[in-house]
Amino acid sequence: MAALATSAILSLRVLILTSLLMAPIGAVAYSKAASLGIGKTGAGFVLFVTLQRQAMS
């Protein structure tokens, strides 16, 4: 029974350490993914619409 408790505590420590290290990386990846794509204003949008029109004709 003591071996099971020791294994559980060790697993919990590894889980906490992993989550502490991965949380900032996940937050940065999420913020980068949310800002991707072509904006609906500016030159990028004009280029996007132009290319779409050329592709349809």
- What is the tens place of the pLDDT at every residue in 7-25? 999 999 999 999 999 999 9
Q: How many CB atoms lie within 10 A of CB 48?
A: 14
Q: Where are the alpha helices (DSSP H) in the chain?
A: 2-34, 43-56
Cβ 38 vs Cβ 45: under 8 Å? yes
Closest to 38 (Cα-Cα) out of 46, 28, 30, 50? 46
Domains in the chain: boundaries: 2-56
pLDDT per residue over 25-48, tens digit each?
A: 988 888 877 666 656 677 778 888
Nearest to 47 by CA among 16, 39, 3: 39
The pLDDT, as a whole number, for residue 35 is 63
What phi, psi does 38 have (nearest 5°)? -85, 130
> What is the predicted pLDDT for the residue at 39?
60
